Chains A and B, each alone.
Chain A
Amino acid sequence: MDLFLHARGRRAKWLLIPLLIVLLTSCYSVRIVNKDGVPEPDPLNQSGNFYKGLKVHTLDTTIKLKLAEGEFHLIERCASGGFFSFEYRVNLGGVLLSAVTLGKLRRVKIKYVCLKEQN
């Protein structure tokens, strides 16, 4: 009996490890920054991070794809005509949603900063 419980505990551990790996690695963000760009400023943004003093645009939505669709485009506009930075965030909920719906529902979390208009 003890042996059986021990074996079950070990099996549970083995099941937990991949789950933990999925949990830890599935939440991340990627930020692309324009080397020569100057960001659009926002003096009211006092966030204590990369975005301090910058005008940040956020997209937080779920895209629904039709059966035959494999990709999608989001059209956004910067008055200056370009992006300074672009951050795409992936989290576990989004990954699970996409997996469960076979990629037809996709959670999109994006933060971007436009280029400062040049005059």
Chain B
Amino acid sequence: MATTTKHEIGKWDTFHSNGPFDTKVLYKTSLAGKGNMPSWLDRYNDAVAEIQRLLKEALDHQEGFRAYGSAWSMNHIAHHNDNMHFNAEMNLKKAILDDEMHPDSAFQRENLFFVQCGNTIKELHKFLFDHGKALKASGASNGQTIAGCISTGVHGSAIDVGSVQDYVVGLNLIIGPDANDIVYLERASEPALNDVFADRIKARVIRDDDLFNAALVGLGAFGFIHGVLIEGEDRYLLKRYVRKIPKELALELAETMDFANSAFVIPSETDANGKGLRPFHYKIFINPYRNDPEYVVEAIYKKPYQPDYPDPVPRMKTAIYRDLIVLFTKIAEKYKNSIPKLIRLLQNSVLPPPDLDATGTLGEIFWDAGYQGPAYACAVGIDHKDSPRALAILTKLAREEGPIPGIYAMRFVKQSRATLAFTKFRVNCMLEIDGLIWKPKKNNMISLEKFCTRTIELLLQNNIPFTIHWGKNADWKFPGLVAHMYGVKAGEWMHQRRKLLSKEQAKLFSNGFLYEVNLAEAVV
């Protein structure tokens, strides 16, 4: 039997220490032991029963319930005042069997994997690798759980691939305590698995494109995501280059994404005519406090997999231009406890020299990024064509109304089909500033909250359409924010939620964040 321990914690915090937030109870569920329950399916269904028991208890007490995994979101999206559920120990995973494929499926069975909510990206890298496959993309990190990634739209900088949710093709949701509350959801237009599979996990099947697209980036509000069907691809390698290039050139690429006709050419990454290849990943690092003539860019190219390549992890472990928080904390090491000195350092120093080139799998190039101390991150999504203009506005904000301890980066991600994906533009520029949390009063500085508000105000004033990363810091109470960002899609998302959940269930899976952004209005 799966077992759950109950902890009356009082306070809960995120991995990056963005809280703490008041919380009554934290539940932690562990699967039944393999020795006692050898069947994968029995253990999976046994976990369902345990989750349903907890949901019933919450419903009986008219309380809310929110699951989370690695707590990597940097705001209160994963938080609930009543009951929180830690699901990172629920990490079953399986390949798909022949008799589980839908007859009309266009997916290759070998590429499909059904994984439980609490699997981290690192676990999935290993599991897929052992099956000769690889994830299509990650959040340029590996610590998040799969359910957390898709619920908040976690992205890397895969220009032509998209975010983590974009390779999810099926969802197993638990929406309440009854037998009918176990749902297997996929797109009607792209069926993947058949009723044999659904029967095995005791789920009723819903094939509905609109509902699936809404539930995909579901903000934890479409029920307990128990299982996720992902599509992988054949193993591949990534070759990573970090270069300093003229800032005009870096921004021209951001605006055009035209790598073939750019002066930015890496000699080993050209076609037969000597034109630059389109990278898998493109990222720009920007110190907002200096008018440097050059920016550091990271370009990563996809290569066929071959086994005998040097282990890149020792090199990546010491690389500076990785996760933006890693870069910032490396720069800040000396002055972590003196924000004014740190700001002066940013104002007076160019960014460190580029890292050495490296080749490895997706999981190796984006290897472990451990705890770096209390950190913040603000990220807006904009059409890549607007990116140079938005960067000019937001770096001016940092310089003139700041300074704040952080540096900017731009990443580029393909459009998502998820209804409330913040990657809603054809090619998105995710413009982000990451850094260390500071005390504004102590240092007589602008507060993070005010900085976030000003970011929204300036983008509005300059008529730049934008979205905000669901898992990062923002002024989520800004009036009409979600309606402005998503327009009719916000209403569509709520409509789809009403299709799936009763009022009681909707209330069960609503939290303060959802009320704050006016997406819980369907709940009475």
A-side residues, CB < 8 A to B, are: 33, 35-36, 38, 41, 43-44, 46, 48-50, 52-53, 116-119
Contacts and interface: CB of A to CB of B under 8 A. Distances in A.
Interface stretch (B26-34, B423-431, B458-466): B26-34
B461 to A, nearest CB: 38
Interface of B: 7, 9, 13, 15, 17, 26, 28, 31, 34, 40, 43, 70-71, 86, 88-89, 91-93, 116, 120, 122-123, 126, 311, 313, 367-368, 370-371, 373-374
Contact of B120 (A38, A50, A117): A38
Contacts of A117: 89, 91
A118 B234 CA distance: 22
Nearest to B30: A117
Given A38-B123, A119-B31, A53 B371 contact: yes
Contacts of B311: 35
Given A38-B120, A48-B17, A43 B313 contact: no
Nearest to A47: B371
A94 to B, nearest CB: 27
A61 to B, nearest CB: 27
B89 to A, nearest CB: 7
A46 B13 contact: yes
B43 A119 contact: yes
Contacts of B374: 48
A52 to B, nearest CB: 4
Contact of B7 (A44, A50, A53, A116): A44
B92 A119 contact: yes
A44 B374 CA distance: 17
For chain B, what secondary structure do more than half of its interface residues adopt (helix, strand, loop), or is it mixed? loop
Q: What 3 pairs between A and B have smallest CB-CB spacing?
A: A52-B371, A43-B86, A119-B92
A50 B371 contact: yes
Nearest to A52: B371
A53 B70 contact: yes
A73 to B, nearest CB: 27
A116 B368 CA distance: 15
A68 B43 CA distance: 51
Contact of A43 (B28, B120, B367): B28
B42 to A, nearest CB: 12
A44 B313 CA distance: 29
Contacts of A36: 126
11 contacts: A35-B311, A35-B313, A35-B367, A38-B123, A41-B70, A41-B88, A43-B28, A48-B373, A116-B88, A118-B91, A119-B43
Nearest to A44: B7
A118 B40 CA distance: 12
Contacts of B89: 41, 116-117
